[in-house]
Amino acid sequence: MKSAVVVFPGINRERDMAKALELASGVAPHMIWHAETELPDVDVVAVPGGFSYGDYLRCGAIAARAPIMDAIHRHAARGGYVIGVCNGFQILTEAGLLPGALLRNASLKFACKVVRLRVDNADTAFSNAYAAGAVIRNPIAHGEGNYFADAETIARLEGDGRVVFRYCDAAGETTMAADPNGSLNHIAGILNERGNVLGMMPHPEDFVEPLHGCTEGRGIFDSLVRAVAA
């Protein structure tokens, strides 16, 4: 699997993302600066977390208009895989690659902790390494992770099985106490209509090695390797 990690000013998770992709694929990703206008020949494009452009205007609003974004749109239109994590998810919604928006956390506080996610759809390019209904742990670190969309969009996401990950407790139950940001329907990660673009607020790249104390994020990257090889 060949991949690229896009780097914007203020992004700070690009090396973690690159490490996770390399561990899964055995191939070091290309690091692509935001001012580039073309992508190399890759299977997967990753938009990592951080605070692109200092989160001015809105989280991801400026990055979504960077020169490289046209190439990412073309990559997705060709069926290439795109994963956006945390600020990357915000960028993908601002760019129109995913529906909805990420609002301020309901607590109005920055949330930084380990949460549990339920795998609601294991039949995707990003989750096929997990069992449906599996509960996995991933860290979060965000102030604006509260997923919101209009009722029609939420109904389509739910009806099409495009909610891949949902905040839950240890038993897999979705509760307000287990939802760190107030997201509608406890949504943590969604797909586009075609199923080749994923956005999620938790950081799977943080949990890919035993040294991290948990490897439950590794499945997302292993899933991509499987999907590309299929």
Looking at the annotation, which residues are catalytic?
86, 203, 205
In this structure, are residues 49 and 203 in contact, taking their beta carbons and an 8 Å threshold?
yes
Alpha-carbon distance 100 to 90, whole Å?
A: 9
Gap between the terminal Cα atoms of the chain:
11
Provide the angle, in degrees to the nearest 10, between the axes of the packed helices 14-25 and 218-229.
Answer: 50
**Residue for token digits 């990753």?**
46
Alpha-carbon distance 163 to 46, whole Å?
A: 19
**Residue for token digits 């509960």?**
135
Q: Which two tokens stand for residue 50?
A: 């951080």
Which DSSP letter does residue 88 get? H
Q: How many CA atoms lie within 13 A of 229 on its CB side?
A: 10
Which DSSP letter does residue 181 get? S
Please give the torsion angle defined by the CA atoms of residues 36, 18, 137 and 176, in that order, rounded to the nearest 10 degrees.
Answer: -10
